[in-house]
Amino acid sequence: MSLYQLSKLLFHLNRDEDLKQKFRRAPQAAIAPFELSEEERRAVLEPDIGLLYVLGVNGQILMHFAAFSGVEWSDYLQRMRDGVKRHGPVRAGIYAMLSDVDEKVAGS
């Protein structure tokens, strides 16, 4: 579990144009400097937004990575719900889900 390193990678990816380009070109190499577990590495590369959420990535970091990955807002919310369904409750951090897995709080 290296949530700090995972969050740090996504923090840099959100704000660093060079890293974004590198990630698009050669994702494995781009994330190599960060000490991630296999599960975290897989979640980033796939990308599995739901798993990243369950791993505890702060939503203020994750929502931008989702947008960068081409995931639209309602789909982003759904992927997090699906992540909880598939991988269980959020394991760390302060962004745990309270509502039912099938509840669409924002209406969509």
4 interacts with other proteins by CB under 8 A: yes
DSSP string over 4-60: HHHHHHHHHHHH-HHHHHHHHH-HHHHHTTS---HHHHHHHHTT-HHHHHHHT--HH
Contact 10, 30 (CB under 8 A): no
* Nearest distance from C-beta of residue 50 to other proteins, angstroms: 10
84 interacts with other proteins by CB under 8 A: yes
- Residue closer to other proteins (CB basis): 28 or 36: 36
Residue 95, φ and ψ in degrees, nearest 5: -115, 30
2 interacts with other proteins by CB under 8 A: no
Contact 20, 71 (CB under 8 A): no
51 interacts with other proteins by CB under 8 A: no
* Nearest distance from C-beta of residue 46 to other proteins, angstroms: 19
Q: Which stretch binds other proteins (CB under 8 A): 22-30, 32-40, 41-49, 76-84?
A: 76-84
106 interacts with other proteins by CB under 8 A: yes
